[in-house]
Amino acid sequence: PKLSLLVLLFSIVSIFSFGQKRTIEHRDFDTWKRINGTSISDDGNYVLHQLTPGKGDATLVITNQKGSAILKYPRGENGTFTSDSKFVVFSIKPSLEFSDSLRRYKVKKDKIPGDSIGIYNLSSGKLVKYPQVKGFTVPDKWAGAVFFQTLDPLPIASDSVKSKTKKIPQNGKNGNHLIVYQPESGKMDSIKFVLSYSIAKEGNKFLYELSGKENQQGVYYRNLNNSEPKPLFRGKGTFENLTLDNRGDQIAFLYDGKKQKDNVDFELKYWTMGMDSAITKVFSGTSGFPKGSFLSKNGSLTFSDNGSEIFMGTATPLLVQDSLKLSEEIIQVELWNYKNSRLHTQQNVELNRDKRSSYSAVYHILSNKFISLGSSEIPMIRNNFNKNANVSLGVSQEKYLKLRSWEGSLPYDIYLIDHKTGKSTLIKEAAYGFPSISPNGNYFYWFDEKTNQLMAYSVQKQSLNVLNKDLNQTFTDERDDHPDLASAYGFAGMTSDEKELLIYDRYDIWSFSPENKTAPIKITDGRKNNIVYRYQHLDRENPGIDLGSLLLHTFNEVTKAEGFATYEGKKKKIAVHFSEDYSFGRVSKARNSKQIVYTKGNFNTFPDLQYTDLDFKNPLKISDANPEKSQYLWGSVELYTWTSLDGIELQGLLYKPEGFDPKKKYPLMVNFYERNSDNLHNHAGIVPHRSSINPVFYASRGYVVFIPDIVYRIGYPGESCYNAVIPGITSLIGEGFINKDKIGTQGHSWGGYQVAYLITKTDIFAAAESGAPVVNMISAYGGIRWGSGLSRMFQYEHTQSRIGGTLWEYPVRYMENSPIFWMDKVNTPVLIMHNDNDAAVPWYQGIEMYTALRRLDKPSWMLNYNGEPHWPTKWENIRDFNIRMQQFFDYYLMDQPIPKWMNEGIPALNKGIDDGLELVR
């Protein structure tokens, strides 16, 4: 009797505790917060982050090294530490509710309040604010000033200080006030009518352009220690790309005094310490300047790190429309020529890019010499990271662009470009791997995915070396199942001394000598235990790798556990810090200390911020983004294993409701794409997915959710999906807790195609949602991906669709894998979502499916969110899609009432007025 009483009491307590939790609702999507904008101060003593809800105002949070939040500021965003770690500068947004209310009352855009700026003193806790701010800039490597522009003559200070300065009307065309605020002293300078400005990376100097409204138009230079501005150039015209070298001792900018509208003919103006004013160094008539070209504002104007060179861009003039022609006299015709390297549709998509394109060039300051580096034949120029080398890397795909329509991968021609002469030397023709340049510019390297060769080119010796020719090891994706070249796992990078090149295989990191001076070695040993090691680059200033100590991220392919380890170069050993059933986000390190910050989460634990040092001792949780999680029915996730009809052992993710009872029968939701089981420890959160179900949301509502992995056989993608997914479902049914009559499936894009295919082959599903599906591979094959303008051929022959050849080579494969030909076999109610501005999958594919089902009188509905792309992007549309999808599945799988939109529809007359979401009881 006593034991029975204890059991009864325990049951009552459990029921009471369970009863305190509730089902996740759509309204919860609005309040669930994400962490973004994370930053750690240079001294490592402070961390800031931004809490952003699904809908509403963000909150800026600043935390000290003890984990205490010293500031939580509503509507704070874009926080930035000053380099001395004394202040935080951030934007203060108007409240979303207030801004929306003004818009509802049709208040003009220029009358709606803009952002303010907040400058917070980390030691005193004092906050200074200024309104109507147009962005801000915080120097990267020097402290003492914050720069921002404002519409007011002088910004209104904090509550203790009011400015009575008379307002001077300004607008964006004639400039705005540039405020130079020194937070330590509170000193503030206001410079009127500033059109643009630029600050030095390391020295406390800055440059600005005046519109000429009060002071003479031109470019002016200031040293923060000297309040007197120095005019570098005065004159009417157009100024662009104000640039300083790292220390701010040299200046360059583009100038055109002709004030032309089109094809502006710029000059490169240059100034350095000791000169009275800026002088012209490069113009279209300069020796070596490409004929018929001009200096382009769209080219990047930068100094090399040692200040000896200035890089810029040149361009050829664009043809200009005859302004005297009437609109009806202008012939609007597209000429599609089979010889063109790019389809006209692709040219249209890339039109603005083409208009802005420029070719790299360099000006040598000491020798006063201009050299063109890039050209139409070699348009891509890559400099080494510190830009101090005498060579550049040239890359071109121009000869192969036409193949882009039907080839999955295109090769690159790789060139050595000499800075002193501009001479280009072909290093490798048709390399199937994009090249990189070493930290000091002494080597180019790439992995050729076609030949499986690791290549390194020595600039000094002008020799090309194969580094892995005697090594029996693959460095491309071992599990790739596309009829295309397998992708390389990639590089960790090259050491700072350029003696070792680090590359990944599936599990490990290998070290190679770029000139084959030593034998390659495997510095990790993850393959024997299925552990994947990947390098974590922490030093923002150094692109090279220090082998003395490498922080490594680890991932166990079997258990999906993640963690961190350190490779100790001198001992050639790996010290494992931990491996846990969690997922860890990117590590950020303080510039001047060992302190780091990263996220740690899993299915049940939100990925909050962890603060520690590189020894990972006593990590401290310093954020609590969603404490309300404990009130929700959440569920659990586990790996599920079965064998496909092809005899392959597969894994999938199985989500179960909270309080799962194996003796009950649950409705099952099946969602898939390709492989997802590695995401076991990912945190889904209460986030409305734009194109897929949220497993947490559905588990909370009492569904079991299954996300199976799929492997593919070339030529038979639909059948491969069937052979993987259906036995997984039947295996689950055999477990005894699935209601075999209440199974639904959902997928989008490639997943949407597979859903459409499955329901033509099986009646196992009681309901299906197919988002943006390709149902007719024959009509889709010759179409265009409107987002890129590319032909869709390559996708079917080589990439995701995996047919493996052309339509005329394998017509039967295209037909067999096209669900449209078997729509009469569908007995599953279908919800389709396909939007009319879809740039990835033409929405007429969804129309083909819907009209076929409609003619066959099959229960079917189609959602088209007008003007939306491949998936809904507007928050309200995303919410609406999630609500309708849930109502659809609840009706068929949960025996809930049918919603009005399913029962009656929404006529065009009532679109946007009547949503039809009410349930018909």
**pLDDT tens figures, 834-874:** 999 999 999 999 999 999 999 999 999 999 999 999 999 99
State whether residue 573 is helix, strand or coil. strand
When pLDDT is cut at 50, 70 and 90, the band that residue 737 belongs to is: very high
The residue length of the chain stands at 921
DSSP assignment, residue 228? E
481 near 712, Cβ under 8 Å?
yes
Per-residue pLDDT at 163? 40
pLDDT in tens, 693-732: 999 999 999 999 999 999 999 999 999 999 999 999 999 9
90 near 77, Cβ under 8 Å?
yes
Average pLDDT score over the chain: 93
By mean pLDDT, which of 39-48, 325-334, 734-743, 813-822 is the weakest? Answer: 325-334
State whether residue 73 is helix, strand or coil. strand
On the CB side of 4, CA atoms within 13 Å amount to: 1
Instruction: Supply the pTM of this predicted model.
Output: 0.93
d(CA 41, CA 89): 12
Per-residue pLDDT at 9? 43
Per-residue pLDDT at 215? 75
Residue 125 has pLDDT above 90, yes or no: yes
When pLDDT is cut at 50, 70 and 90, the band that residue 171 belongs to is: low
When pLDDT is cut at 50, 70 and 90, the band that residue 321 belongs to is: confident
For tokens 């299954």, the residue is: 706
d(CA 921, CA 918): 9
- How many CB atoms sit inside 10 A of residue 826's CB? 24
d(CA 696, CA 656): 9
Q: Pick from 525, 437, 452: which is nearest to 489 by CA?
A: 452
- Joined together, the tokens standing for residue 105 give 């009352």
The helix or strand, by DSSP H or E, that contains position 205, with its residue range, turns out to be: strand 205-210
Long-range contacts of 568-572 (CB under 8 A, 24+ apart): 572/523
State whether residue 220 is helix, strand or coil. strand
For the chain, the farthest-separated pair of C-alpha atoms sits apart, in whole angstroms, at 104
Q: Pick from 528, 529, 527: which is nearest to 509 by CA?
A: 527
620 near 611, Cβ under 8 Å?
yes
When pLDDT is cut at 50, 70 and 90, the band that residue 263 belongs to is: low
Packed helices 750-758 and 717-735: angle between N→C axes, nearest 10 degrees: 70
When pLDDT is cut at 50, 70 and 90, the band that residue 265 belongs to is: confident
Per-residue pLDDT at 15? 43
Query: Average pLDDT, stretch 412-427?
Result: 96
Per-residue pLDDT at 384? 82
d(CA 351, CA 431): 28
By mean pLDDT, which of 243-247, 338-342, 633-637, 881-885 is the weakest? Answer: 338-342
654 near 640, Cβ under 8 Å?
yes
- Joined together, the tokens standing for residue 91 give 């934007």
Neighbouring residues of 788: CB distance < 8 A, sequence distance ≥ 6: 346, 349, 839
For tokens 């007011």, the residue is: 152
When pLDDT is cut at 50, 70 and 90, the band that residue 448 belongs to is: very high
When pLDDT is cut at 50, 70 and 90, the band that residue 234 belongs to is: very high
The values of phi and psi at residue 882, to 5°, are -65, -40
Query: Average pLDDT, stretch 309-320?
Result: 93
Q: Pick from 210, 225, 139, 203: which is nearest to 177 by CA?
A: 210
d(CA 612, CA 618): 7
The values of phi and psi at residue 67, to 5°, are 90, 5
Q: Pick from 158, 52, 175, 156: which is nearest to 113 by CA?
A: 156
Q: How far is CA 787 from CA 405, 790, 869, in A?
A: 14, 8, 9
Per-residue pLDDT at 260? 67
d(CA 97, CA 38): 25
25 near 882, Cβ under 8 Å?
no
Residue 172 has pLDDT above 80, yes or no: no
- Joined together, the tokens standing for residue 114 give 């803009």
d(CA 265, CA 584): 51
DSSP assignment, residue 617? -
248 near 266, Cβ under 8 Å?
no
Per-residue pLDDT at 541? 85
Per-residue pLDDT at 333? 92
Per-residue pLDDT at 261? 66
Residue 16 has pLDDT above 50, yes or no: no
Per-residue pLDDT at 74? 97
Q: Pick from 342, 296, 339, 335: which is nearest to 317 by CA?
A: 296
Per-residue pLDDT at 19? 56
Per-residue pLDDT at 165? 40
Question: SS3 letters for 734-764?
Answer: HHCCEEEEEEEEEEECHHHHHHHHHCCCCCC
264 near 355, Cβ under 8 Å?
no
For tokens 């659990």, the residue is: 636
pLDDT in tens, 24-72: 999 999 999 999 999 999 999 999 999 999 999 999 999 999 999 999 9
The helix or strand, by DSSP H or E, that contains position 795, with its residue range, turns out to be: helix 793-797
d(CA 865, CA 836): 7
Which amino acid does the sequence have at 368?
N
Residue 155 has pLDDT above 70, yes or no: no
State whether residue 399 is helix, strand or coil. helix
Query: Average pLDDT, stretch 402-422?
Result: 94
d(CA 367, CA 309): 10
- Joined together, the tokens standing for residue 694 give 């949220």
Per-residue pLDDT at 153? 60
Q: What DSSP line would sit under 253-293, residue for residue?
A: EEEESS--SSS--BEEEEEETT-SS-EEEE-TTSTTPPTT-
d(CA 581, CA 564): 12
817 near 757, Cβ under 8 Å?
yes
- 101 or 822: which leads in pLDDT: 822
